[in-house]
Chains A and B, each alone.
Chain A
Amino acid sequence: SQKIEQNSEALNIQEGKTATLTCNYTNYSPAYLQWYRQDPGRGPVFLLLIRENEKEKRKERLKVTFDTTLKQSLFHITASQPADSATYLCALDFGNTGKLIFGQGTTLQVKP
């Protein structure tokens, strides 16, 4: 079965630096991949979607890359702020059916 791995250890960075989060998967590539942000006690909030034929997507300070050879997606937050502190989840749809399989999430802590 498909496995999705995100860094289980929390990522601690200084304000203003770029945060880079990793999402790795096994076996075959998904039709598309999404990134979500989740704050404590709240549901996930959609950030970006990237399809298998796309290499990179940007939205304001956010950038997502998708490398089907490495079976990996990277999520970057540039000029990070303490307000960016949250858990970030990657979610993959392998059959283009809307069935999202989530990674376990990586907690980001941005220190002022």
Chain B
Amino acid sequence: EAGVAQSPRYKIIEKRQSVAFWCNPISGHATLYWYQQILGQGPKLLIQFQNNGVVDDSQLPKDRFSAERLKGVDSTLKIQPAKLEDSAVYLCASSLWTDSEAFFGQGTRLTVV
């Protein structure tokens, strides 16, 4: 079974630039998550999708972050404009149901300089 695919693996941008991350979840998984993990901390949920719809985006900084899930499958997360404090690993995860185990991708390490 193929895992959760994310790209790019690494990204370095200057502050105020924009960046986008892509995620392809495990086939058949209805729930998709984007997490932000700052060094030394646990992952923090940014947004949760159930199929096409947003279930929770309460911790997404909506003035600069946006996310969409295309046809209930792939998803993109965008930051515009980036700030220095956005430097982190962005993890995508998917699960079959809302109360089952989550499968994580390898993440995208973003450095904002």
Given contacts A43-B106, A97-B56, contact A102 B42 (CB under 8 A): yes
Instruction: Annotate A1-35 by CB proximity to B: 1 below 8 A, 0 otherwise.
Output: 00010000000000000000000000000011010
By the criterion of a CB under 8 Å from any partner CB, how many residues of chain B are at the interface?
A: 28
Shortest beta-carbon distance, A96 to chain B, in Å? 6
Instruction: Annotate B25-43 by CB proximity to A: 1 below 8 A, 0 otherwise.
Output: 0000001010100001111
Contacts of A43 in B (CB 8 A): 4, 91, 93, 104-107
Instruction: Annotate B5-46 by CB proximity to A: 1 below 8 A, 0 otherwise.
Output: 000000000000000000000000001010100001111110
In the complex, whether B103 has a CB less than 8 A from a CB of chain A is yes
- What bracket does the count of chain A residues touching chain B fall in? 20 to 34
Which residues from chain B sit less than 8 Å from chain A, CB to CB? 4, 31, 33, 35, 40-45, 48, 50, 55-56, 91, 93, 95, 97-107
Contacts of B45 in A (CB 8 A): 99-101
B101 touches A46 (CB 8 A): yes
Given contacts A43-B93, A89-B42, contact A98 B101 (CB under 8 A): no
Instruction: Annotate A55-70 by CB proximity to B: 1 below 8 A, 0 otherwise.
Output: 0000000000000000
Q: A88 to B97, alpha carbons, bound, how many Å?
A: 23
